[in-house]
């Protein structure tokens, strides 16, 4: 009678403890693709745990930690297996960080080679500036010289736009162009 009561208490506690609901034995994970590990828990479970992947091998099952200090109340964790995980007989273990005891264990599942999609994005823009300058006549002499110069510059992959008279940003490229144009005019 005492044995039966202890057995029922143990069975009731086990039924209410943290349980991994995904992956299951029908799960087929793909490498390079985010996979969701899901679980249910009760208030008496530890507040956090470590997630390990049990890796099949010929002699014994090894584990690799994939996340530490996972909050039990989160209910799920996303993990992306790399190409080294291709195979069958994988399991997810939830481990108590203090004692090292396994709190929960998933069904066995398979990990297949996935095809990762690589995408890239690019952005470009331009900055243009223009300006002009007049050369006053020389202070001495009888000949008067005047001229003007203008120009513009385009800078690839910039995201700011400046126009004539919009502050120092427009003035600096304009002065450089005017100076170069003046040298060409006077030469």
Instruction: Report pLDDT digits (tens) over 6-21.
Output: 444 444 444 569 999 9
Confidence (pTM): 0.54
Instruction: Report pLDDT digits (tens) over 39-48.
Output: 999 999 999 9
Band of the pLDDT at 178, cuts 50, 70, 90?
very low
Q: Which of 61-65, 84-88, 163-167 has the lowest mean pLDDT?
A: 163-167
Instruction: Report pLDDT digits (tens) over 99-154.
Output: 999 999 999 999 999 875 554 444 455 445 455 545 555 555 444 444 444 444 44
CATH classification code of 2-112? 2.60.40
Domain with CATH 2.60.40 in the chain: 2-112
Query: Long-range contacts for 131-138 (Cβ within 8 Å, ≥24 apart)?
Result: 131/164, 131/170, 131/171, 131/174, 131/175, 131/177, 131/178, 132/178, 133/178, 133/182, 135/182
Report the pLDDT averaged over residues 162-178.
42
Report the pLDDT averaged over residues 14-42.
91
């Amino acid at each position: 009678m005492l044995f039966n009561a202890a057995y029922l208490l143990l069975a009731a506690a086990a039924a209410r403890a943290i349980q991994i609901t995904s992956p299951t034995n029908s799960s087929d994970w793909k490498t390079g693709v985010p996979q969701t590990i899901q679980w249910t828990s009760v208030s008496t479970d530890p507040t956090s745990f470590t997630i390990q992947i049990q890796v099949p091998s010929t002699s014994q099952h090894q584990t690799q930690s994939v996340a530490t200090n996972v909050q039990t109340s989160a209910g799920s964790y996303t993990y992306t297996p790399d190409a080294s995980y291709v195979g069958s007989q994988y399991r997810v273990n939830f481990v108590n960080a203090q004692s090292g005891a396994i709190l929960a264990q998933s069904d066995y599942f398979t990990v297949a080679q996935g095809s990762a999609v690589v995408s890239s994005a690019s952005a470009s823009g331009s900055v243009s500036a223009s300006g002009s300058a007049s050369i006053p006549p020389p202070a001495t002499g009888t000949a008067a010289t005047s001229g003007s110069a203008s120009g513009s510059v385009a800078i690839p992959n910039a995201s700011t736009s400046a126009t004539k008279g919009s502050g120092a940003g427009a003035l600096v490229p304009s002065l450089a162009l005017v100076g170069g144009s003046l040298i060409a005019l006077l030469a």
